[in-house]
Amino acid sequence: MTTAIDRSKTYSEIEAEQWLRMYRRMLMIRVFEEQVNDLYTRALMPGLAHLYIGEEAVAVGVCEALRQTDYITSTHRGHGHCLAKGAALDRMFAELLGKEAGYCKGKGGSMHIADPDTGNLGANAIVGGSAGIATGAAFSARRLKTDQVSVCFFGDGALGQGLLYEVMNMAALWKLPVIYVCENNLYNEYAHNSETLAGDMLARGSAFGLHAENVDGQDVRAVYRTAREIVDHVRQGAGPAFLVCQTYRFMGHHVGDINREYYRSKQEEQMWKTERDPIKVLGDWLTAQNLADRARFDQIHAEVKSEVEKAVQFAMAAPYPSPDKVGQDVYA
Amino acid sequence: MPETRELTLGEAVREALAEEMRRDSRVFICGEDIAEAGTVFKVLTGLVDEFGKERVLDTPISEAGFTGIAVGAAMTGMRPVVDIMFGDFVTLTMDQMVNQAAKVHYMSGGKWKVPMVMRATLGATRRSAAQHSQSLHAWFCHVPGLKVVLPSTPYDAKGLLKTAIRDDNPVVFFEDKMMYRLKGPVPVEEYTIPFGVADIKRAGSDITIVATSSMVQVALGAAKLLEEFDISAEVIDPRTVWPLDEKTLIGSAKKTSRVMVVDEGYERYGVTAEIASVIAEGAFYDLEAPVKRIGAMHVPIPFSPPLEDATVPTEKSVFEAAKALCSGGL
Ligand SMILES: Cc1ncc(C[n+]2csc(CCOP(=O)(O)OP(=O)(O)O)c2C)c(N)n1
Ligand SMILES: [Mg+2]
């Protein structure tokens, strides 16, 4: 009983500026993550870092279809979602470095960025752990009669978690405005998902009556168009949806995952990087359409690079929280 | 004295919920068989008639799922009250309570709040066997970010539940199944009871019995038996085990110099251990004997009545232990 989405309804031609904005966002995430990699390998960043490089089109395409007041929940691989939803680079870096100026005053770190101002309910380091929260936010939107929608980002590994199916069932029963976005990057840590997933991925959503759709997660235009249609329907009360984005992480599971050949080949990685890089895919299309030229791209690259550099400098210079803050914020 | 009437503990809980739902349209209840059925214990009977099925929301049998939804709803403007039929089923909600609800506020640097209540039951001796009889409240006390409430009377249940619903933090509220029919005076007028304030249920001078939930009734019964032996027992109910009113407990211990702690949770690593340690540290030089603890035996709760009765504290076991403590023996 999946709700049919009206394909004949075309959106007005999206301005080149909007595609360029998405290009810029994806690039910002890419350069941010490269910077994280650098900080981490130079031992300037504590903890763990799960890079989003290669998957930028998913977060950017989906979040472009959202309003600032819409909700998202994110994952351990969450920097991209937070930035795509509007987080500022400097406070992101500050949080990753454990500084007081960070989004969570240094108490959350890389895996827990949260920001009410951009509707970010929080990144979550429990695989699949935010499915309830995202669904609950949709529940509030329904009850409080706001027209917000809620997006739950999660990896293909989260399809192994029962919570997801419990809340999908309730979201469908109660027609909640929630979209479950599965980032299928093929791997759960160091295991290919052919070893962890039985049956059909999309059917996991359609079994509950969710509108379920697959999209090429390396093509931001496809992600955006599909997300836009789904978001509109969900916002109008059509009930929840399940969007599977086919994507790939270019780097290791986390920054320290260097030798990966025991679970995936260099050729496979190379293929994705050269042929399926979301930034290149969009760049090539923009060039072919004569919507941007070399000079324009160079300008964007230079601007993004300088913004990221400034943000890192801010975070490096920012003070750590004083240890006496450790007991604050346990209770509201 | 304010005007009161007799209510059962179940009625007091229901009245607290109804008052808070009238007062604040963001409050709703969700759980299994809570609407027309009014829960398996009939505690919520009638609420659906007043508030409708949207606010007294029957859910699928998905404890983790509806608890998670409550966490998200609480973060975004609602004030959910989650109903967990048997306290044993809290195990299914643990990630949502422990890793999500309890940590959201801290992890977000104080930005998101989770004003939700989880109501669950506890208590053995209903011949319900190992999976429907446990008292697992200690699990939640162990986790920073949660508050844990254990009412022992209709008066406390009502006042504490209203406070729980108004609290901006996740609160776990345990009701002893065996106490739902317990009657007691409840003021006609509205009132709330602050968290972290213990209540002296019976004043005494020879021994302090700290007791929680239905163990308060057990301790009061034991105190009566002790009276016949000229032992004057003070019975203190912490009412909230977190936050814990350490000051009142330590004060009473210093006064009586002998302390027992009685709780229906498993004794090993349980609530009794924590309270005994707080008292031992705070009143050591005033104590004449080690603090004695009685909790549930370290066995799964058995079905057969004579077996089950041996596993949890009773008036008799509390009386005997208290008497031994007062006569120097342990
Ligand atoms: C409940 C839980 N189990 C295990 C882990 C450890 N862990 C962290 S990431 C990860 C793999 C997640 O895979 P996926 O959901 O596909 O996300 P991806 O890393 O591919 O983005 C695992 C097993 C965890 N964080 N939470
Ligand atoms: Mg994955």
Q: Quick one: pLDDT band at residue A13, thresholds 50, 70, 90?
A: low
Strands B147-149 vs B171-176: parallel, antiparallel or unpaired: parallel
Residues in chain B: 330
Is the C-beta atom of A158 inside 6 A of ligand 1?
Answer: yes
Q: What is the mean pLDDT of residues A103-107?
A: 98
Is the C-beta atom of A269 inside 6 A of ligand 1?
Answer: no
Q: What pLDDT sits at residue A92?
A: 98
Q: How far is A25 from chain B (nearest CA, A)?
A: 24
Question: For the segment B154-204, what is each residue's pLDDT rounded down to a tens digit?
Answer: 999 999 999 999 999 999 999 999 999 999 999 999 999 999 999 999 999
Euclidean distance between CA atoms A30 and B325, whole angstroms = 69
Which tokens hold the place of B105?
């506020």
Q: How far is A182 from chain B (nearest CA, A)?
A: 18
Q: Is B78 on the interface with A (CB under 8 A)?
A: yes
Is the pLDDT reported for residue B294 higher than 50?
A: yes
Q: What pLDDT sits at residue A4?
A: 52
Whether residue A324 lies inside any domain: the answer is: no
State in Å: Cα A315 to ligand 2 middle.
Answer: 29
Q: What is the mean pLDDT of residues B206-221?
A: 98
Q: With CB atoms and an 8 Å threshold, state whether A139 touches B112.
A: no
Name the residue of A188, A247, A257 to mutate for ligand 1: max ligand atoms within 8 A of Cβ. Answer: A188
Beta bridge partners of B181: none
State in Å: Cα A192 to ligand 2 middle.
Answer: 8
User: Domain ranges in chain B?
Assistant: 4-187, 199-324
Q: What pLDDT sits at residue A5?
A: 52
State in Å: Cα B227 to ligand 1 middle.
Answer: 60
Is the pLDDT reported for residue A161 higher than 50?
A: yes
What's the complex ipTM? 0.96
Residue A170 has its nearest CB partner, among B60, B75, B114, at: B60
Euclidean distance between CA atoms B326 and A267, whole angstroms = 79
Contacts of A271 (CB under 8 A, 6+ apart): none
DSSP structure string for B141-194: HTSTT-EEE---SHHHHHHHHHHHHH-SS-EEEEEEGGGTT-EEEEESS-----
Catalytic residue, chosen from B105, B132, B137, B298, is B132
CATH code given to domain B4-187: 3.40.50.970
Residue B75 has its nearest CB partner, among A105, A121, A328, at: A121
Q: What pLDDT sits at residue B185?
A: 98
Q: Which residue has the tokens 């309804």?
A: A9
User: Is A226 exposed, middle or buried, given 0-12, 13-18 or 19+ CB atoms closer than 10 A?
Assistant: buried
Question: For the segment A252-304, what is each residue's pLDDT rounded down to a tens digit?
Answer: 999 999 999 999 999 999 999 999 999 999 999 999 999 999 999 999 999 99
Query: Whose atoms come closest to the Cα of A158: which ligand?
Result: 1
Query: Whose atoms come closest to the Cα of A163: which ligand?
Result: 1
Q: With CB atoms and an 8 Å threshold, state whether A132 touches B76.
A: no
Q: With CB atoms and an 8 Å threshold, state whether A104 touches B76.
A: no
Q: With CB atoms and an 8 Å threshold, state whether B69 touches A132.
A: yes
Q: What is the mean pLDDT of residues A41-54?
A: 95
Cβ pair B112, A122 in contact under 8 A = yes
Q: Is A143 on the interface with B (CB under 8 A)?
A: yes
Is the C-beta atom of A81 inside 6 A of ligand 1?
Answer: no
Judge: domain B199-324, CATH 3.40.50.920. yes
Q: Which residue of A has its CA nearest to B54?
A: A143
Whether residue A325 lies inside any domain: the answer is: no
A273 lies in which domain range? Answer: 16-315
> CATH topology of B4-187 equal to that of B199-324?
yes
Q: What pLDDT sits at residue A16?
A: 87
Q: A-B interface: how many C-beta pairs under 8 angstroms?
A: 149
pTM, to two decimals:
0.96
Q: With CB atoms and an 8 Å threshold, state whether B71 touches A170.
A: no
Q: What pLDDT sits at residue B202?
A: 98
3-state secondary structure of B199: strand
Residue of the nearest CA to atom 3 in ligand 1?
A: A127
Q: Is B64 on the interface with A (CB under 8 A)?
A: yes
Question: For the segment A165-216, what is each residue's pLDDT rounded down to a tens digit?
Answer: 999 999 999 999 999 999 999 999 999 999 999 999 999 999 999 999 999 9
Q: Is B65 on the interface with A (CB under 8 A)?
A: yes
| Percent share of chain A, pLDDT over 90 | 95
Q: Is B81 on the interface with A (CB under 8 A)?
A: no
Q: What pLDDT sits at residue A12?
A: 43
Euclidean distance between CA atoms A286 and A24, whole angstroms = 12
Q: Quick one: pLDDT band at residue B329, thresholds 50, 70, 90?
A: low
Question: 3-state DSSP: chain B helix, strand, coil percent, rounded to 5?
Answer: 40, 20, 40
Euclidean distance between CA atoms B175 and B180, whole angstroms = 8
- Tell me how far apart the 2 most distant CA atoms of chain A are, in Å: 60
Round the average pLDDT of chain A to a whole number and report it: 95
Euclidean distance between CA atoms A43 and A125, whole angstroms = 22
Q: Which of chain A's residues have a Cβ under 8 Å away from the Cβ of B141?
A: none
Q: With CB atoms and an 8 Å threshold, state whether B72 touches A137.
A: yes
Whether residue A9 lies inside any domain: the answer is: no
Q: What is the mean pLDDT of residues A238-262?
A: 97
* Type and span of the H or E element at B282: helix B271-283
The CATH number of the domain where A187 resides is what?
3.40.50.970
Euclidean distance between CA atoms B31 and A207, whole angstroms = 23
Whether residue A327 lies inside any domain: the answer is: no
The tally of domains found in chain A comes to 1
Q: How far is B54 from chain A (nearest CA, A)?
A: 9
Is the pLDDT reported for residue A10 higher than 50?
A: no
> Which of B140, B213, B130 has the alpha carbon at shortest distance from B178?
B213
Q: Which of chain B's residues have a Cβ under 8 Å away from the Cβ of A166?
A: 60, 62, 64-66, 68
Asked whether the CA dihedral B270, B275, B278, B284 is positive or negative, the reply is negative
Is the pLDDT reported for residue B114 higher than 60?
A: yes
Q: With CB atoms and an 8 Å threshold, state whether B68 touches A121.
A: no
Q: Is B31 on the interface with A (CB under 8 A)?
A: no
Euclidean distance between CA atoms B246 and B281, whole angstroms = 11
- Partner A, chain B 211-230, Cβ-Cβ below 8 Å: none
Check whether the bond before A278 is cis (ω within 30° of 0). Answer: no
Q: What pLDDT sits at residue B328?
A: 78
Which tokens hold the place of A198?
């039985």
DSSP structure string for A134-175: HHHHHHHHHHTT----EEEEEEGGGGG-HHHHHHHHHHHHTT
Round the average pLDDT of chain B to a whole number and report it: 97
Answer yes or no: B132 catalytic: yes
Is the pLDDT reported for residue A11 higher than 70?
A: no
